[in-house]
């Protein structure tokens, strides 16, 4: 265990701190999960991949980690105050829970395409209504919430008078705050102060997702669910709370206020926030067309890219930015990432076959190699600096290639250093970065190619006969199997996703 060499940037204190878990050897980590009302976008993927690497690195350090990532299926409202899930369910003519299941499945599929580990607990907000109602009661009992017309509001002024901490995480001052919570714009006049926010909302007659409570038939506030689910599974104080930095305010600020208002203590010791994904230098946004879905990126079916990129290339590209920096997706950067990824995988395969004959000498080359290997661990210990660690991995790639070409001899390095090189390299590439070799077994597998080509021919015939249901069925079923068809000028090609 290398516990105290890890430092993390705590958004709360705005500085790097030595990571000291509350309970020795164990880490509790909560990450705000997706709101499952539409397909997961690349920005979400960036955040979840970042926390996956953090989770994997904590495991590598030897911690026993309980990683909780929720599913938001109620209470996240649109700008017009409509529940995102029920609004979309109406559009798709589905039962809200059917919609939730559909997009949860798609989310899980995407997480598996990107080879991320499942969290230890994945609680759903609608499965924790009783606990949410209990927390509202406790906050009211402590005097930090009040009821008005069946809704319950958090009293930010009273809370701040006592704890002097509201707005500390996001750097906002309560006097200047006009409520940006958007969860209750219709009911501003029910609040004592504009920065107060709803923790329980009375539902209108047409509102579908609603539950009985002591105050009204209604639904919980979005912020409340994370306060409840994090502390239910991790205890009233836990180690790491994460999410994208767009969640700092109001979501995380209000989570802190609720937990403190309920238990008197802050929920998380370290707050970690990922930065946003950009495309061609601008925020990736659906409304102005500056967006690309993961599947479009894999198939190349988008004006923003010249070709398709495999999920592992996209993941490699993501690792090249630090989680606290913005990440700019461009076609050029992806092309470079594709070359880098394949160079990395070639070196991993070559290293796997290499054996040190034993003994060897502690030469300058040996010292340099050992320093590079240790440097990678130090980079990850420095607030999970994946771009620096990746640069260090490429020093090793160069070394491996020299060794393979005979420019460096086994006798120039000791057996122990070689052993450390091998284990560290393999651990970082596969276990910590979570990359995998996707080319292997697919391109060379003639029988898969033969079967897919046959299906492409049948699909082409179906399309010529305007039998769209058969052609869609073939495409969709292959997609479920991880095989993506791409229609282009030169016919249909396929790739494994």
Residues of the shown chain interacting with Zn ion in the complex, contacts defined by CB under 5 A? 32, 226
Query: At closest approach, how far in Å is the CB of 110 from ligand AMP?
Result: 12
Binder among 284, 347, 351, 485 for ligand AMP (CB under 6 A): 284
Residue 226 binds which entry of Zn ion, ligand AMP, none, CB below 5-8 Å type-dependent: Zn ion
From ligand AMP, Zn ion, none, interface partner of 46 (C-beta below 5 to 8 A by class): ligand AMP
From ligand AMP, Zn ion, none, interface partner of 119 (C-beta below 5 to 8 A by class): none
Residue written as tokens 């991790």?
Answer: 234
Distance of CA 130 to the CA centre of its chain: 28
**277 interface partner picked from ligand AMP, Zn ion, none, CB below 5 to 8 A per type:** ligand AMP
Looking at the Cβ atoms of 222 and 309, the one nearer to Zn ion is 222
Q: Name 325's Cβ contacts closer than 8 Å, sequence gap at least 6.
A: 275
Residue nearest to ligand AMP (CB): 244
Q: Which is nearer to ligand AMP, 276 or 336 (CB)?
A: 276
Residue 86 burial (CB count, 10 A)? 20
C-alpha to C-alpha distance for 470 and 488, rounded to whole angstroms:
19
Among 274, 372, 386, 495, binds ligand AMP (CB under 6 A): 274
Here the tokens at position 177 are: 């705050």
Judged by CB, which is closer to Zn ion: 123, or 311?
123
* Residue placing its CB nearer to Zn ion in the complex, 8 or 226: 226
Residue 489 burial by Cβ neighbours in a 10 Å radius (0-12, 13-18, 19+): exposed
CB of 230 to Zn ion, least distance (A): 8
Query: From residue 226 to residue 265, what is the string marking binding to ligand AMP with x (rule CB under 6 A)?
Result: -----------------xx-xx------------------
Q: How many residues does the chain have?
A: 497
Is residue 170 within 8 Å of residue 273, measured between CB atoms? no
Least separation in angstroms between residue 122's CB and Zn ion is 13
When CB distances are held under 5 to 8 angstroms depending on the partner's kind, the choice from Zn ion, ligand AMP, none that residue 377 binds is: none
Q: What are the beta bridge partners of residue 244?
A: 274
Two tokens, residue 60: 């590598």
- 329 forms bridges with which residues in the sheet? 279
Q: At what angle do helices 311-319 and 42-60 cross, to 10 degrees?
A: 70
In whole angstroms, give the CA distance from residue 330 to residue 332.
Answer: 5
Report the alpha-carbon angle 274-280-286, nearest 5: 70
Say if CB 61 and CB 150 are below 8 A apart: no
Q: How far is CA 312 from CA 60, 63, 401, in A?
A: 21, 26, 22
Question: Smallest distance from the beta carbon of 41 to Zn ion, in angstroms?
Answer: 17
Per-position x/- string for 13-52, each x denoting binding to ligand AMP as judged by CB under 6 A, each - no binding: -------------------x-xx-------xx-xx-----
* Window 55-94: contact mask with ligand AMP (x via CB under 6 A): -----------------x----------------------
Which lies closer to ligand AMP via its Cβ, residue 286 or residue 443?
Answer: 286
What are 450-453's contacts with CB under 8 Å, separation 24+? Answer: 452/478, 452/483, 452/494
Taking CB within 5 to 8 Å according to partner kind, which of Zn ion, ligand AMP, none is near residue 47? ligand AMP
Give the interface with ligand AMP as residue ranges (CB under 6 A): 32, 34-35, 43-44, 46-47, 72, 243-244, 246-247, 274, 276-277, 284
């Amino acid at each position: 265990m290398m516990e105290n060499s890890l430092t993390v940037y705590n958004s709360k204190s705005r500085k790097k701190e030595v990571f000291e878990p509350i309970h020795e050897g164990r880490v509790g980590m909560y990450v705000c999960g997706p709101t499952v009302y539409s397909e997961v976008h690349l920005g979400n993927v960036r955040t979840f991949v970042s926390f996956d690497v953090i989770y994997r690195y904590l495991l590598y350090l030897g911690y026993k980690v309980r990683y909780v990532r929720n599913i938001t299926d109620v209470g996240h409202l649109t700008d017009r105050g409509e529940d995102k899930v029920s609004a979309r369910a109406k559009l798709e003519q589905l039962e809200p829970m059917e919609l939730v299941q559909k997009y949860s499945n798609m989310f899980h599929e995407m997480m598996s395409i990107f080879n991320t580990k499942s969290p230890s607990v994945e609680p759903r907000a609608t499965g924790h209504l009783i606990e949410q109602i209990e927390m509202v009661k406790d906050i009211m009992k402590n005097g930090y919430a009040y009821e008005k017309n069946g809704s319950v509001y958090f009293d930010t002024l009273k809370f701040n008078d006592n704890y002097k901490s509201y707005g500390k995480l996001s750097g906002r001052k309560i006097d200047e705050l006009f409520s940006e919570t958007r969860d209750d714009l219709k009911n501003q006049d029910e609040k004592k102060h504009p920065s107060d926010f709803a923790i329980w909302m009375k539902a209108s007659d047409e509102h579908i997702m609603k539950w009985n409570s002591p105050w009204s038939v209604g639904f919980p506030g979005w912020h409340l669910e994370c306060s409840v689910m994090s502390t239910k599974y991790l205890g009233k104080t836990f180690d790491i709370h994460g999410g994208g930095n767009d969640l700092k305010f109001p979501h995380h600020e209000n989570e802190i206020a609720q937990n403190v208002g309920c238990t008197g203590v802050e929920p998380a010791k370290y707050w970690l926030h990922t930065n946003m994904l950009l495309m061609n230098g601008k925020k990736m946004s659906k409304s102005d067309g500056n967006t690309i879905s993961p599947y479009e990126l894999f198939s190349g079916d988008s004006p923003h890219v010249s070709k398709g990129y495999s999920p592992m290339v996209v993941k490699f590209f993501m690792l090249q930015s630090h989680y606290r920096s913005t990440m700019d997706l461009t076609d050029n950067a992806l092309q470079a990432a594709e070359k880098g990824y394949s160079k990395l995988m070639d070196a991993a395969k070559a290293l796997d076959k290499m054996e040190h004959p034993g003994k060897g000498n502690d030469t300058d080359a040996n010292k340099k190699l050992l320093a590079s290997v240790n440097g990678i661990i130090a980079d990850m210990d420095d607030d999970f600096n994946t771009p620096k660690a990746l640069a260090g991995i490429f020093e090793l790639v160069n070394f491996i290639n020299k060794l393979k070409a005979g420019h460096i001899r086994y006798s120039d390095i000791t057996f122990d250093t070689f052993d450390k090189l091998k284990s560290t390299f393999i651990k970082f590439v596969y276990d910590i970065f979570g990359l995998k070799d996707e080319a292997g077994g697919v391109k060379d597998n003639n029988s898969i190619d033969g079967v897919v080509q046959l299906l492409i021919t049948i699909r082409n015939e179906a399309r010529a006969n305007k039998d769209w249901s058969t052609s869609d069925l073939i495409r969709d079923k292959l997609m479920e199997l991880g095989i993506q068809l791409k229609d282009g000028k030169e016919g249909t090609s396929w790739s494994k996703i």
